[in-house]
Amino acid sequence: MSVESPRVSRLEPYLNRAEPAPTLLKMLVGVQLAGIREDAGLSQDQAARAVGFSPAKLSRIEAGKGRRPPVEADVRALLSLYETEDHEASVLLRLLRQAGEPGWWQRYDKRLMPEWFDRLVGLQEAATAIRTFEIQYVPGLLQTPAYARAVVERGLPSATSREVERRVELRTRRTELLRRPDAPRVWAVLDESVLLRVLGGREVMREQLAHLVELAGLPHVTVQVVPLDVTHASAPAIPVTYLRFGGVDLPDVVYLEQIRSATFLEDRDETEEYRVALDRLADEALDPRASMALLKETAERRYAAAP
């Protein structure tokens, strides 16, 4: 009697997900193919040559990148080369087919969802833990619709009203992730300047700060603030999002956003540097209770309703 591969037992639960998770499944397929190749004693170059791929193509497949999953015929060729056991091969192929089912965010116009943003949303949907540091805006997952609209209008002053509303709709839909039964653990550290930068007016800011307090009351959400008078804070110069995935052999991913593009880091040494930096920031920030007190105080002192 053959013994089921531990790899297969870890993958089978993902065959029964209620919601499509194409980004997660592409990564899973890629990581497992890389593991099977290594078990077969083949380098990436050797395997690519054996099936007529370029090394770059096999690297993309194993990294799970691109909007679409690999072509099934290509994956079958690799599984055949590696002499993969039939049941393990069938599980991988089923995951591959499910990876072709679009996530809710992939139904939006590609102008709203460039490939890098598509990947970010897919990773957030699949993550078990999301850590973020922001120096300019409230993180997208924690924004109210009115605040999101102000962010979009500020960033895209020439956008049509329809485009603005579609972008706000997309941002608002993303926040539903926090209300799911399987919601990820979210840990957000904000520079105090985020609370003081007025977007959309006093009422919008008051609502946004109240929303942060409400979300921080959820058991899986933590919000901390780095006060302006902490002059020694070891804050990165750009926003950082750190994503972790539970128990599926996937690497942690760091997301760094630029104006019209983004960088995804997966190398363990690089991601570890950001994890340590976020740990230091959390130590330097106010603790969650004091952070909530500052949010409430700022809302009352700076954004109180006019008499």
Q: What is the pLDDT of residues 195-241, one digit of tens each?
A: 999 999 999 999 999 999 999 999 999 999 999 887 666 667 789 99
Helix axes of 115-126 and 22-39: crossing angle, nearest 10 degrees? 80
Of 63-77, 211-225, 237-251, give the range with the top mean pLDDT. 211-225
State how far the Cα of 241 lies from the Cα of 130, in Å rounded to an integer.
7
> Does residue 254 share a domain with residue 197?
yes
Last residue of one domain, picked from the residues 49, 68, 100: 100
Last residue of one domain, picked from the residues 100, 135, 167: 100
Averaged over 39-53, what is the pLDDT? Answer: 95
Determine, yes or no, domain membership for 270: yes
pLDDT for residue 64: 86
- Angle of CA points 150, 201, 222, to nearest 5°: 70
10 Å CB burial of residue 7 (0-12, 13-18, 19+) is middle
Largest Cα span, the chain? 79
Short-list 138, 282, 135, CA closest to 211: 138
State how far the Cα of 200 lies from the Cα of 39, in Å rounded to an integer.
56
pLDDT-derived band of residue 1, with 50, 70 and 90 as boundaries? very low
Averaged over 80-86, what is the pLDDT? Answer: 93
> Does residue 280 share a domain with residue 158?
yes
pLDDT for residue 22: 85
> Does residue 149 share a domain with residue 18?
no
pLDDT for residue 70: 92
Compute CA distances 199 → 41, 144, 150, whole Å. Answer: 56, 12, 6
User: Contact, 253 vs 264, CB < 8 A?
Assistant: yes
Half-sphere exposure (Cβ direction) of 35: Cα atoms closer than 13 Å: 16
For the record, the structure tokens of 196 come out as 């003081």
Q: In this predicted structure, which of 42-46, 111-115, 164-168 has the lowest mean pLDDT?
A: 111-115
Q: pLDDT tens, 157-205?
A: 998 999 999 999 999 999 999 999 989 999 999 999 999 999 999 999 9
Is the predicted pLDDT of residue 297 greater than 90, yes or no?
yes
Compute CA distances 141 → 132, 181, 221, whole Å. Answer: 10, 16, 11
Measured distance between the N- and C-terminal CA atoms of the chain, rounded to whole angstroms:
79
Looking up residue 150, the CATH number of its domain turns out to be 3.30.870
> Does residue 236 share a domain with residue 148?
yes
> Does residue 123 share a domain with residue 243?
yes
Compute CA distances 59 → 27, 54, 66, 70, 93, whole Å. Answer: 12, 9, 12, 11, 18
> Does residue 26 share a domain with residue 57?
yes
How many independent structural domains does the chain possess?
Answer: 2
> Does residue 247 share a domain with residue 186?
yes
Residues 6+ apart with CB under 8 A from 245: 24, 27, 126, 127, 128, 252
Three-state DSSP at 110 gives coil
State how far the Cα of 226 lies from the Cα of 233, in Å rounded to an integer.
8
For the record, the structure tokens of 37 come out as 């190749």
Q: Quick one: DSSP state of residue 107?
A: G
Determine, yes or no, domain membership for 105: no
Determine, yes or no, domain membership for 6: no
Short-list 167, 139, 142, 162, CA closest to 152: 167
Averaged over 128-143, what is the pLDDT? Answer: 95
pLDDT-derived band of residue 307, with 50, 70 and 90 as boundaries? low
- Identify the domain containing residue 269 by its residue range: 115-303
Last residue of one domain, picked from the residues 100, 126, 150: 100
